[in-house]
Chain A
Amino acid sequence: MIPSAYSPEEARGLWVFLEQEAGRLEGVALELLGKGRELAQARGVPLTGLLLGQGVEPAAREAIAHGADDVVVADDPLLAVYTTDAYASVAAQVILDRKPETLLLGATPNGRDLAGRLAVRLRTGLTADCTGLAWEEGTGLLLGEVSGFGGGVMASIKCARHRPQMATVRPGIFPPPSADPDRAGRMEFVPVSLDAAKIRTEILERVRHEGVDITRAKVLVAGGRGVKGDFAPLTEIARLLGGEVGASRVACDLGWIGRDRQIGQTGFVTRPKVALVCGISGATQFTVGVKDAGLIIAINSDPEASIFEEADLCVVDDLFPVLEALIAELRGAA
Chain B
Amino acid sequence: MKPLDIIVCVKLVPKPEEVTVNAETRTLDRAKARSALNPPDMNAIEMALGLRERHGGTVSLLSMGPPFAAPYLQVGLAMGADHAYLLSDRLLGGADTLPTSLALAKGIAKIGEWDLVLCGEESSDGATGQVPQGIAEWLGCSQITYAMDLSFLPDGRLRGEREIRGGHEVVAVPLPAVVSVKLAVNEPRFMDMERRRNPEAVTIWSAADLGVDPKWLGFEGSPTVVGAVWQAKSPERQRQFLDGTPQEKARLLAEQIRRML
CB distance from A171 to the nearest CB of B (A): 8
**Is A313 a contact of B253 with CB atoms below 8 Å?**
yes
CB distance from A17 to the nearest CB of B (A): 14
| B35 contacts chain A at the CB level, 8 A cutoff | no
User: Do A153 and B224 contact each other (CB < 8 Å), given the known contacts A84-B143, A325-B250?
Assistant: no
Q: Which residues of A contact B194 (CB under 8 A)?
A: none
A120 to B134, CA, bound (A): 6
| A229 contacts chain B at the CB level, 8 A cutoff | no
A158 to B226, CA, bound (A): 7
Centre residue among A2, A260, A322, A324 by max chain B CB count within 10 A: A2
A326 to B168, CA, bound (A): 36
Q: Name the segment of A56-64, A95-103, A111-119 touching the other chain.
A: A111-119
| A7 contacts chain B at the CB level, 8 A cutoff | no
Q: Which residues of A contact B162 (CB under 8 A)?
A: 109
**Is A116 a contact of B171 with CB atoms below 8 Å?**
no
**Is A322 a contact of B239 with CB atoms below 8 Å?**
no
| Majority secondary structure, A binding face | mixed
Q: Which residues of B contact A123 (CB under 8 A)?
A: 98, 223
| A110 contacts chain B at the CB level, 8 A cutoff | yes
B21, B99, B130, B260: the one contacting A153 at CB < 8 Å is B21
A317 to B261, CA, bound (A): 25
Indicate with 1 or 0, residue by residue over A223-250, a CB within 8 angstroms of chain B CB atoms: 0000000000000000001000000000
Q: Which residues of B contact A110 (CB under 8 A)?
A: 164-165
A252 to B74, CA, bound (A): 35
Q: Which residues of A contact B234 (CB under 8 A)?
A: 291-292
| A314 contacts chain B at the CB level, 8 A cutoff | yes
B226, B227, B239, B254: the one contacting A312 at CB < 8 Å is B239
Which chain A residues numbered 181 to 209 have a C-beta less than 8 Å away from chain B? 200-209
A244 to B257, CA, bound (A): 15
Indicate with 1 or 0, residue by residue over B56-70, a CB within 8 angstroms of chain A CB atoms: 000000000000000
| A80 contacts chain B at the CB level, 8 A cutoff | no
Which chain B residues numbered 106 to 150 have a C-beta less than 8 Å away from chain A? 124-134, 136-138, 142-146
**Is B241 a contact of A113 with CB atoms below 8 Å?**
no
Q: Which residues of A contact B241 (CB under 8 A)?
A: 308, 314-316
**Is A119 a contact of B97 with CB atoms below 8 Å?**
yes
Q: Which residues of B contact A326 (CB under 8 A)?
A: 250, 253-254
Q: Which residues of A contact B133 (CB under 8 A)?
A: 84, 112-113, 115-117, 120
| B16 contacts chain A at the CB level, 8 A cutoff | yes
Q: Which residues of B contact A257 (CB under 8 A)?
A: none
A123 to B96, CA, bound (A): 12
Interface magnitude class on chain A: 35 or more
**Is B128 a contact of A128 with CB atoms below 8 Å?**
yes
**Is A241 a contact of B183 with CB atoms below 8 Å?**
no
| B31 contacts chain A at the CB level, 8 A cutoff | no
A219 to B224, CA, bound (A): 37
Q: Which residues of B contact A108 (CB under 8 A)?
A: 164-165
| B215 contacts chain A at the CB level, 8 A cutoff | yes
**Is A146 a contact of B238 with CB atoms below 8 Å?**
no
**Is A156 a contact of B227 with CB atoms below 8 Å?**
yes
| B166 contacts chain A at the CB level, 8 A cutoff | yes
User: Do A207 and B235 contact each other (CB < 8 Å), given the known contacts A128-B127, A317-B249?
Assistant: no
Q: Which residues of B contact A212 (CB under 8 A)?
A: 166
Q: Which residues of B contact A291 (CB under 8 A)?
A: 234-235
CB distance from A248 to the nearest CB of B (A): 13
**Is B223 a contact of A4 with CB atoms below 8 Å?**
yes
Q: Name the segment of A35-43, A44-52, A65-73, A293-301 touching the other chain.
A: A293-301
Q: Which residues of A contact B16 (CB under 8 A)?
A: 149-150, 152
Centre residue among A88, A120, A127, A297 by max chain B CB count within 10 A: A120
**Is B172 a contact of A204 with CB atoms below 8 Å?**
yes
**Is A265 a contact of B167 with CB atoms below 8 Å?**
no
Q: Which residues of A contact B221 (CB under 8 A)?
A: 1-2
**Is B169 a contact of A155 with CB atoms below 8 Å?**
no
Q: Which residue of B lies closest to A326 (CB)?
A: B250
Indicate with 1 or 0, residue by residue over B229-261, a CB within 8 angstroms of chain A CB atoms: 111101101111110001101111110111011
Q: Which residues of B contact A138 (CB under 8 A)?
A: none
User: Do A202 and B172 contact each other (CB < 8 Å), given the known contacts A310-B237, A314-B240?
Assistant: yes
**Is B253 a contact of A143 with CB atoms below 8 Å?**
no
**Is B142 a contact of A200 with CB atoms below 8 Å?**
yes
Q: Which residues of A contact B88 (CB under 8 A)?
A: none
| A54 contacts chain B at the CB level, 8 A cutoff | no
A160, A310, A330: the one contacting B223 at CB < 8 Å is A160
User: Do A204 and B226 contact each other (CB < 8 Å), given the known contacts A110-B165, A125-B96, A308-B239?
Assistant: no
Q: Which residues of B contact A93 (CB under 8 A)?
A: none
| B216 contacts chain A at the CB level, 8 A cutoff | yes
| A270 contacts chain B at the CB level, 8 A cutoff | no
A291 to B233, CA, bound (A): 10
**Is B246 a contact of A317 with CB atoms below 8 Å?**
yes
A115, A117, A329: the one contacting B254 at CB < 8 Å is A329
**Is B222 a contact of A125 with CB atoms below 8 Å?**
yes
10 pairs of residues in contact across A and B, judged by CB atoms under 8 Å: A2-B221, A117-B137, A120-B102, A120-B134, A149-B14, A156-B226, A157-B224, A207-B169, A209-B166, A313-B238
Instruction: Identify the 4 closest CB pairs spanning chains A and B, nearest first.
Output: A116-B133, A148-B126, A125-B223, A325-B250
